[in-house]
Structure 1
Amino acid sequence: MKNFELFESQNRIKKIENLGDPLKNLQELVDFEIFREELESMSRSGTEKGGRPPYDPVMMFKIIVLQKLYNLSDRQTEYQINDRFTFQRFLGVGEHEKLPDEKTIWVYRERLIREGSDRILFSKLSYWIQRSGFELKAGAIVDATIISVPIQRNTEEENEAIKQDQIPKAWKEDGRKLRQKDTDARWTKKRGKSYFGYKNHIMIDSTHKIIRDYTTTSANVHDSQVCIKLIETMRKGELIFGDSAYPIPTVLLEGKKKGILTLFCEKGKRNQPLSEDSKILNKHLSKVRSRVEHIFADIKSFGGKRIRCRGLARAELQIFLSNFVYNTRRFIFLSGASHA
């Protein structure tokens, strides 16, 4: 009977692999050990004598990646890592090993926020992808997308205080209420529709569609304000593409100082419509610039366009994870494996 069960188990594993297990592809293509040094350097609670031995930091980071990839809550994550063989194989654990509960997962994610290791982890992944044969080319595309958070029901006075970067008096007096409020998220409008949350500003490689750099801001920050920061990471002689939100004097001047060719779509003005030449140029530039929309569509497909958290620090971690997961999925695709 045991031999039969073993045979059936092996058949099931083989079938899963034939159907295309994205986690197996991810495990084979990205060596998560490259993150160990940074993850182990993070401070951790419970290190006092007699405390519970900590879980392996690489395994914990993999759990956070799984959570983002499959858009899971902490409780759902606890259930899935205990239930799914493919999750356990990705984590490198046996079916009888003790796994972290939802509270431990929450605590670890909060630790990632406190330590601010996201930029280093993102850079390590970028370096891994580049050394695997997908080096950054001479062209980049910039764009931003709104990341929505749950809408708050505030009074006019409370909203006015938030706009002035102040905490409403009633919230200061009620700690429980303050903990339930997001004082960093902001409202913005796009094509006549209002959104509440943050923005994920990204710069991608125009050839491979890999995210090169990113910045998180409140939703009301104009795209052009962040472009200068992204340009700082570019090399002399590179090209940068963007939509009509970017060609403002400060951005163009920064590009010129860095020796970067700025190729932004033009925008018509009141009583000054675009010339036919400008329309033709915009059409050609849009074909390149539109490649960035594929990234946002992919991030949306695994729930990355909406986050369930409060505050800029937590939003920064969630947006980092969305960009990190996207790059792993794109890397798998470019490498010829099944898309995650």
Structure 2
Amino acid sequence: MDNFSTYIFREEYKRIEELGDTLSSISNSIDWECFRKILSPLYNDNKEDGGHPHLDEVLMIKTLVLQHLYGLSDYETERNIYDQMSFRHFLGFPKTIPDRSTIWVFKERLTKNDCLDLIWEELQRQLDDLGFGLQRGVMQDASFITADPGHAK
């Protein structure tokens, strides 16, 4: 069940959806559950021996997809998930948003266990089957600086 803030986000997102959201069409077309099979052996916190609970594997894969599509650093990814309604919708309006450290640790875990290539190959296979072409974008952040106007003549 949604809490009040999630309800508000979903209502606000409806306007974005009316304007067109490419991320949503990608998200609805991909079989995200197949990635869980690839990643579940990397975690032991779902077993009797316990372990620190981790964020959902699909949430983390979707986070990496956003990062890759928009050419974002770990910090920028965290910031943009908070800032972009379409990013939150793509991730399913999670209760916990991955922070930059969690993103970094997740990528390190994938690399260390030789899973990163498996993830991208499966995603690419699905996109190819759907006839999607992926173009990588870059989000830019504008900064304002105060310039010295000089002396009036």
Same-fold call, TM cutoff 0.5 = yes
Equivalent position of 2:122 in the other structure: 124
Opposite residue 17 of structure 1, the aligned amino acid is: E
1:103 aligns to 2:101 (yes or no): yes
Opposite residue 117 of structure 2, the aligned amino acid is: R
Q: Which structure 2 segments of 5+ residues have no match?
A: 1-6, 139-153
In structure 2, the CA distance between the partners of 1:37 and 1:22, relative to structure 1 (3 Å rule), is: same
Q: Which runs of 4+ in 1 moved over 2 A?
A: 6-10, 12-15, 43-47, 49-52, 82-85, 118-132
Matches within 5 A, 1:323-334: none
Report deviation, 1:23. Answer: 1.2
Q: What percent of counterpart residues are identical?
A: 35
**Higher-helix-fraction structure:** 2
In structure 2, the CA distance between the partners of 1:7 and 1:112, relative to structure 1 (3 Å rule), is: closer
In structure 2, the CA distance between the partners of 1:8 and 1:118, relative to structure 1 (3 Å rule), is: closer
Aligned partners of 2:81 and 2:87 also within 8 Å: yes
TM-score (norm 1): 0.33
Out of 110, 113, 116, the position equivalent to 1:115 is: 113
TM-score (norm 2): 0.67
1:90 aligns to 2:90 (yes or no): yes
3-state SS of 1:55 partner: coil
3-state SS of 2:54 partner: coil
In structure 2, the CA distance between the partners of 1:8 and 1:72, relative to structure 1 (3 Å rule), is: closer
Report deviation, 1:38. Answer: 0.4
Report deviation, 1:7. Answer: 8.9
Aligned partners of 1:46 and 1:52 also within 8 Å: yes
Q: Measure, in 2, the Cα distance between the counterparts of 1:111 and 1:13.
A: 33
Aligned partners of 1:39 and 1:58 also within 8 Å: no
Q: Measure, in 2, the Cα distance between the counterparts of 1:128 and 1:21.
A: 19
In structure 2, the CA distance between the partners of 1:9 and 1:29, relative to structure 1 (3 Å rule), is: closer
Matches within 5 A, 1:152-301: 298-299=135-136
Q: Measure, in 2, the Cα distance between the counterparts of 1:105 and 1:127.
A: 24
Q: Measure, in 2, the Cα distance between the counterparts of 1:128 and 1:116.
A: 20
Greater RCO structure (CA 8 Å; 6+ sep): 2
Opposite residue 70 of structure 1, the aligned amino acid is: Y
In structure 2, the CA distance between the partners of 1:108 and 1:124, relative to structure 1 (3 Å rule), is: same
Larger radius of gyration between Structure 1 and Structure 2: 1
Aligned partners of 2:78 and 2:99 also within 8 Å: yes
Equivalent position of 2:64 in the other structure: 64
Q: Measure, in 2, the Cα distance between the counterparts of 1:75 and 1:44.
A: 24
Q: Measure, in 1, the Cα distance between the counterparts of 2:10 and 2:108.
A: 37
Q: Which structure 1 segments of 5+ residues have no match?
A: 1-5, 135-207, 211-294, 304-340
